Amino acid sequence: MDKPLSRVAARATLLSGCAACACAWLFLGCTGYMTGKNDSGGGPTLPANTAGAAGSGGSSNATVQVGGDHAPLVPVPAAMRRLTARQYANSVHDIFGSELALTRPLEADETNERFSSLGAAKVATSPRGVEQYRDAALEVAESILARKSAYPELSSCSPTSVSDPCIATALGHFGQRLFRRPLGDAELGRYVGVATANGDQQLALGLRYALAALLQSPSFLYTPEVGETSGATLRYTSYEMATRLAYLLLDSTPDAALLEAASRNALVDDAGLSEQLTRLLGQPRAQGLAGRFFGEAWNVNRLSAQSKNAELFPEWTDAVATAARAEFNAFLTDLTATRKADLRQLFTGRTGFPSAALTPIYGPLTSNDAPTPLSLSGARTGLLTSAAVVAANSPTDRTSPTYRGVFVLERVLCVEPPPPPPNVRTELPSDPTLPLRQRLEQHRADPVCRACHGLFDPLGLTFEGFDALGRERSSDAGKPIDTSGTLGELTFGGVKDLAEYVAKDPRTERCLAHQLNDYANGHGETKGESGAVDSLRDALVGGGYRFDALVTALTLGPGFRYLAKAE
């Protein structure tokens, strides 16, 4: 059962980072959470696995070895995920053809969580959302029937009698694609029953409603998982694995080959899984995985044409925002798919991928309309100082060392500062003649503020050479910019120093493994997963810091393949 977690119990000190740099943190008095990291420092500890089922006994909750000296995995109960709006659209297009127009809006994805997959694993659909699924399903079904000659299962299916076998054949075929598994007899019977609800009359209309019913089934809209026993453990079935792989790697429904592999029960062993993984990783959609993952992990998904105040920054247009995001994706595709290079180049890489539309940010560019490799100059370093990352981690109208410092702590090092304490004044001194650095210093004069702002503001100040859009600048409030900063006792001359530091900090490796584990599994890392995630980090390091090494270790690893029985 769930237990209320007191703040004291939830504390894990910042000490639990790397040995080399850890001592620098302590004096600050700002307790944060090393996200997902097992607290072995003897400080206050967390209750084991508050999620509930694991550890409560029963053969299906057996632990699974993870390799190395790491603690075995305590599997986590599955929580079905609702397809995101994009996954819904991708799935419908992959099954029925991309020509299909989808004009009906769906209920918004849950955005309260860091990753959309975590929100999708919690969200329930409101009555209005159910209505929207109905409207969308009827629209899709109507479009399918309007172009039925495009589908072999429908092109010659014009039933005049309820006993025409093409009804069940067509619904069985589309049902299998939509549900990502074959339908049981009773299930299929329900949908045939819809098509034949008016007897021999209006069977074409009946087929439309039957297809719409399939499209509204929770077996399509969610990814329910129950697993199967395998010895003492509970593992995801081959069909469940097909779904897990497809939505992780392709952001869409399993293709026919993946379902075929599942039908041979080939996705519960390493060999069959590896074969499909290799095949899928070669597909263009899979090459977008890094862009999707880091887009969420680094806050870049929220970036849009409207992210900046139009009165202050008329240069920030739809074209600029789009090009900034395109550069972000191009950088990641180049790094993780084309070159399959060391992920630490996220911080220290020397090449950007601007298109000409980014001239307002980077200065005159001779590149063309597509992202084009360009050597970085000035203070720019890796993806860390790209227009997309800097702009996404700035407010609408100015820079914020606080946002940027929290970004590096939370999203790069996985150190989560606690929320601000209650009843603390947060107004900044408003003297506009002072640079932000000085105004923040005044704010930190208050010891209550300093406890945490003393941690992230000096970190974020290294980014002060970039304005709210990510343009380089040399002055603030008429005074030269000072880009020096600190992290505990470490000092940095500027953002390049910081980038080199975080590239070497072992917390960065652990953070990447932790974040991808959360993203792929749809839940926050539990204590019982700590060893499994440590072993993912090992695989990343041992694989030359390549993203595909991490993805491979994750999808073949036990955390992605074993579950605990849900209560």
Partner 1 sequence: MASSIIRSVKPQRLARRTMLRGALRGTAVLLGLPILDIMLDDSGTALAQGEALPRCFGVFHWGLGINHQAWVPSTTGKDYKLPYSLEGFADLKDYLTLITGFNHPNSSPGHIPARGIALSSSHDMSICQGECVGVYRGQNHPEPSVDMIVAQAWAGQAKFDSLELGICRTGPYRSNSSWRQGGTAYNRHETSPQAIWDRLWSAGPAANPSSELLAVSTRFEQSMLDAVVGDTTALQQRLGARDRQRLEQHLEGLRALEKRLQAPGVTLACPSPDRPTRADFGDEGTHEDKEPKHAIMAGLLTTALACDLTRVFSYEWSANQSTTVYWEVGVNTEHHQFSHDAQGSQGFKDIVRFIMKNFASLSRMLKEHTEGAGNLLDRTLILGTSEHANAASHDYVDHPYLMVGKAGGKIAAGQHHRNPNPNNLDAPKILLSAVRAVGVERAALGQVGSDAARVATQTVAELEA
Residues between 147 and 186 that touch partner 1 (CB under 8 A): 186
Query: In whole angstroms, how close is the CB of 433 to partner 1 at the nearest point?
Result: 16
Please report whether residue 457 would count as binding partner 1 according to CB under 8 A.
no
Whose Cβ is closer to partner 1: residue 116's or residue 276's? 116
Alpha-carbon span 485 to 463, nearest angstrom: 9
Which member of 15, 376, 556, 566 binds partner 1 (CB under 8 A)?
566
Query: In whole angstroms, how close is the CB of 328 to partner 1 at the nearest point?
Result: 19
Please report whether residue 343 would count as binding partner 1 according to CB under 8 A.
no
Whose Cβ is closer to partner 1: residue 141's or residue 389's? 141
Per CB under 8 A, which region of 219-227, 233-241, 267-275, 504-512 contacts partner 1?
A: 219-227
Contact positions with partner 1 (CB under 8 A) in 88-127: 104-105, 107-108, 110-114, 118, 122-127
3-state helix, strand, coil in the chain (%, to 5): 50, 5, 45
Contact positions with partner 1 (CB under 8 A) in 505-564: 523-527, 529
Please report whether residue 219 would count as binding partner 1 according to CB under 8 A.
yes
- State the DSSP code for 72: P
Query: In whole angstroms, how close is the CB of 186 to partner 1 at the nearest point?
Result: 8
Alpha-carbon span 362 to 342, nearest angstrom: 25
Whose Cβ is closer to partner 1: residue 527's or residue 561's? 527
Closest to 455 in 3D by CA, of 24, 19, 12, 8: 24
84-88 long-range Cβ contacts below 8 angstroms, 24+ apart: 84/109, 84/116, 84/120, 85/109, 86/251, 87/247, 87/251, 87/252, 87/253, 88/136, 88/221
Q: Residue 446 corresponds to which tokens in the numbers above?
A: 């208050």
Whose Cβ is closer to partner 1: residue 65's or residue 111's? 111
Dihedral class, residue 340 (left if φ above 0, else alpha if ψ from -120 to 50, else beta): left
Alpha-carbon span 226 to 79, nearest angstrom: 9
Per CB under 8 A, which region of 2-10, 55-63, 253-261, 539-547 contacts partner 1?
A: 2-10
Alpha-carbon span 97 to 91, nearest angstrom: 9
Which member of 46, 102, 356, 556 binds partner 1 (CB under 8 A)?
46
Closest to 244 in 3D by CA, of 80, 408, 381, 405: 80
- State the DSSP code for 25: G
Query: In whole angstroms, how close is the CB of 4 to partner 1 at the nearest point?
Result: 5
Alpha-carbon span 387 to 324, nearest angstrom: 6
403-407 long-range Cβ contacts below 8 angstroms, 24+ apart: 403/460, 404/459, 404/460, 404/463, 405/455, 405/456, 405/457, 405/458, 405/459, 405/460, 405/461, 406/456, 406/460, 407/298, 407/299, 407/460
Query: In whole angstroms, how close is the CB of 175 to partner 1 at the nearest point?
Result: 10
Whose Cβ is closer to partner 1: residue 333's or residue 508's? 508
Which member of 71, 194, 391, 413 binds partner 1 (CB under 8 A)?
194
Query: Mask: binding to partner 1, 369-398, rule CB under 8 A, as x and -?
Result: --------------------------xxxx
Measure the CA angle with vertex 262, ends 82 and 176; round to 5°.
55
Measure the CA angle with vertex 387, ends 382 and 388; round to 5°.
95
Contact positions with partner 1 (CB under 8 A) in 410-449: 416, 418-428, 430
Query: In whole angstroms, how close is the CB of 268 to partner 1 at the nearest point?
Result: 19
CA torsion sign, 470 to 472 to 478 to 480? positive
Contact positions with partner 1 (CB under 8 A) in 294-313: 302, 304-306, 308-312
Query: In whole angstroms, how close is the CB of 353 to partner 1 at the nearest point?
Result: 26
Whose Cβ is closer to partner 1: residue 72's or residue 129's? 129
Alpha-carbon span 381 to 347, nearest angstrom: 6
Which member of 224, 272, 435, 506 binds partner 1 (CB under 8 A)?
224
Calculate the CA dihedral of residues 24, 30, 35, 37 and round it to 10 degrees: 50
Whose Cβ is closer to partner 1: residue 213's or residue 262's? 213
Alpha-carbon span 345 to 527, nearest angstrom: 30
Per CB under 8 A, which region of 206-214, 276-284, 290-298, 365-373 contacts partner 1?
A: 206-214
Please report whether residue 201 would count as binding partner 1 according to CB under 8 A.
yes
Contact positions with partner 1 (CB under 8 A) in 67-86: 76-80
Which member of 59, 131, 155, 369 binds partner 1 (CB under 8 A)?
131
Identify any residues that bridge with 26 across adjacent strands, giving them in sequence order. Answer: none
How many residues in the shown chain lie near partner 1 by CB under 8 A? 104
Per CB under 8 A, which region of 215-223, 270-278, 504-512, 542-550 contacts partner 1?
A: 215-223
Alpha-carbon span 391 to 300, nearest angstrom: 8
